[in-house]
Amino acid sequence: MKKIFENRTVWFYAEVVAAVLVLVAMVIGITTKGLVKNTFSTGIVIAALIGIAIEVVYQFVNWEVLPLLVTAMYALAFGMIANQGSYVISDHINGVNFLGGNYGMVLQCLVLVGIALVLSILALFHDQKKA
Protein backbone atom coordinates (compact mmCIF):
# COMPACT_ATOMS: atom_id res chain seq x y z
CA MET A 1 0.00 0.00 0.00
CA LYS A 2 2.87 2.34 0.81
CA LYS A 3 4.30 1.82 -2.66
CA ILE A 4 1.11 3.13 -4.26
CA PHE A 5 1.35 6.47 -2.43
CA GLU A 6 5.10 7.08 -2.35
CA ASN A 7 5.40 8.58 -5.86
CA ARG A 8 2.40 10.92 -5.63
CA THR A 9 2.33 14.71 -5.59
CA VAL A 10 0.02 17.05 -3.74
CA TRP A 11 -2.18 17.19 -6.86
CA PHE A 12 -2.92 13.48 -6.54
CA TYR A 13 -4.29 14.17 -3.08
CA ALA A 14 -6.22 17.16 -4.45
CA GLU A 15 -7.92 14.79 -6.90
CA VAL A 16 -8.66 12.37 -4.06
CA VAL A 17 -10.27 15.20 -2.09
CA ALA A 18 -12.24 16.20 -5.20
CA ALA A 19 -13.52 12.65 -5.64
CA VAL A 20 -14.54 12.47 -1.98
CA LEU A 21 -16.35 15.82 -2.22
CA VAL A 22 -18.26 14.66 -5.30
CA LEU A 23 -19.13 11.40 -3.59
CA VAL A 24 -20.41 13.26 -0.50
CA ALA A 25 -22.48 15.55 -2.72
CA MET A 26 -24.01 12.54 -4.46
CA VAL A 27 -24.92 10.93 -1.14
CA ILE A 28 -26.51 14.18 0.05
CA GLY A 29 -28.40 14.54 -3.22
CA ILE A 30 -29.64 10.97 -3.34
CA THR A 31 -30.79 10.94 0.28
CA THR A 32 -32.53 14.34 0.28
CA LYS A 33 -33.80 14.40 -3.32
CA GLY A 34 -33.94 18.17 -3.21
CA LEU A 35 -33.87 19.22 -6.85
CA VAL A 36 -36.83 20.09 -9.06
CA LYS A 37 -40.01 18.20 -8.12
CA ASN A 38 -38.15 16.56 -5.21
CA THR A 39 -35.92 14.38 -7.37
CA PHE A 40 -32.22 13.89 -7.92
CA SER A 41 -31.36 12.97 -11.48
CA THR A 42 -29.61 9.67 -12.07
CA GLY A 43 -27.69 11.43 -14.84
CA ILE A 44 -25.91 13.51 -12.22
CA VAL A 45 -24.95 10.44 -10.25
CA ILE A 46 -23.80 8.58 -13.38
CA ALA A 47 -21.63 11.51 -14.53
CA ALA A 48 -20.07 11.84 -11.08
CA LEU A 49 -19.39 8.12 -10.72
CA ILE A 50 -17.88 7.94 -14.20
CA GLY A 51 -15.56 10.80 -13.23
CA ILE A 52 -14.50 9.02 -10.05
CA ALA A 53 -14.01 5.74 -11.93
CA ILE A 54 -11.84 7.44 -14.57
CA GLU A 55 -9.73 8.96 -11.80
CA VAL A 56 -9.18 5.49 -10.33
CA VAL A 57 -8.27 4.11 -13.77
CA TYR A 58 -5.79 6.97 -14.28
CA GLN A 59 -3.83 5.82 -11.24
CA PHE A 60 -3.09 2.53 -12.98
CA VAL A 61 -3.05 3.56 -16.67
CA ASN A 62 -0.90 6.56 -17.57
CA TRP A 63 -3.03 8.12 -20.31
CA GLU A 64 -2.68 11.87 -20.08
CA VAL A 65 -6.18 12.52 -21.44
CA LEU A 66 -7.90 10.86 -18.47
CA PRO A 67 -7.64 13.85 -16.05
CA LEU A 68 -9.39 15.97 -18.69
CA LEU A 69 -12.20 13.42 -18.85
CA VAL A 70 -12.49 13.47 -15.05
CA THR A 71 -12.82 17.24 -15.12
CA ALA A 72 -15.39 17.02 -17.93
CA MET A 73 -17.52 14.58 -15.90
CA TYR A 74 -17.36 16.77 -12.79
CA ALA A 75 -18.28 19.80 -14.93
CA LEU A 76 -21.22 17.89 -16.39
CA ALA A 77 -22.46 16.92 -12.92
CA PHE A 78 -22.03 20.52 -11.73
CA GLY A 79 -23.91 21.84 -14.74
CA MET A 80 -26.82 19.45 -14.25
CA ILE A 81 -27.09 20.37 -10.56
CA ALA A 82 -26.94 24.07 -11.45
CA ASN A 83 -29.56 23.62 -14.16
CA GLN A 84 -32.07 21.75 -12.03
CA GLY A 85 -31.18 23.69 -8.89
CA SER A 86 -31.75 27.07 -10.51
CA TYR A 87 -35.50 26.52 -10.29
CA VAL A 88 -35.26 25.70 -6.60
CA ILE A 89 -33.09 28.77 -5.98
CA SER A 90 -35.54 30.93 -7.93
CA ASP A 91 -38.45 29.59 -5.89
CA HIS A 92 -36.58 30.36 -2.67
CA ILE A 93 -35.71 33.91 -3.75
CA ASN A 94 -39.29 34.60 -4.82
CA GLY A 95 -40.76 33.05 -1.69
CA VAL A 96 -42.87 30.44 -3.46
CA ASN A 97 -42.81 26.66 -3.58
CA PHE A 98 -43.85 26.08 -7.15
CA LEU A 99 -41.47 23.33 -8.26
CA GLY A 100 -40.44 21.86 -4.93
CA GLY A 101 -36.91 21.04 -3.93
CA ASN A 102 -34.58 21.73 -1.04
CA TYR A 103 -32.70 25.03 -1.22
CA GLY A 104 -30.07 24.03 1.34
CA MET A 105 -29.30 20.78 -0.45
CA VAL A 106 -28.91 22.56 -3.78
CA LEU A 107 -26.40 24.97 -2.27
CA GLN A 108 -24.50 22.18 -0.53
CA CYS A 109 -24.22 20.14 -3.71
CA LEU A 110 -23.26 23.17 -5.79
CA VAL A 111 -20.52 24.15 -3.34
CA LEU A 112 -19.14 20.62 -2.92
CA VAL A 113 -19.11 19.77 -6.62
CA GLY A 114 -17.90 23.29 -7.44
CA ILE A 115 -14.89 22.95 -5.13
CA ALA A 116 -14.19 19.51 -6.59
CA LEU A 117 -14.38 20.94 -10.10
CA VAL A 118 -11.92 23.73 -9.27
CA LEU A 119 -9.50 21.24 -7.69
CA SER A 120 -9.79 19.00 -10.71
CA ILE A 121 -9.16 21.92 -13.10
CA LEU A 122 -6.08 22.96 -11.13
CA ALA A 123 -4.80 19.38 -11.07
CA LEU A 124 -5.01 19.29 -14.88
CA PHE A 125 -2.00 21.59 -15.07
CA HIS A 126 0.17 19.64 -12.64
CA ASP A 127 1.55 16.11 -12.49
CA GLN A 128 -0.10 13.71 -10.09
CA LYS A 129 2.86 11.34 -10.20
CA LYS A 130 6.48 12.15 -9.48
CA ALA A 131 8.83 11.57 -12.38
**Tens digit of pLDDT for each residue in 43-78?**
999 999 999 999 999 888 888 899 999 999 999 999
Which residue range forms the structural domain that includes residue 45?
2-83+94-124
- 128 with 8: CB under 8 angstroms? yes
pTM, rounded to two decimals: 0.91
The reply to whether 35 falls in a domain is yes
Q: Answer yes or no: is 130 within a domain.
A: no
The pairs formed by 42-49 with CB atoms below 8 angstroms and a separation of 24 or more are 43/80, 44/77, 44/80, 44/81, 47/73, 47/74, 47/76, 47/77, 47/80, 48/22, 48/23, 48/73, 48/74, 48/77, 48/113
Total count of domains within the chain? 1
Query: Is 45 inside a domain boundary?
Result: yes
Sign, CA dihedral 53-121-113-10, equals positive
Is residue 129 in some structural domain?
no
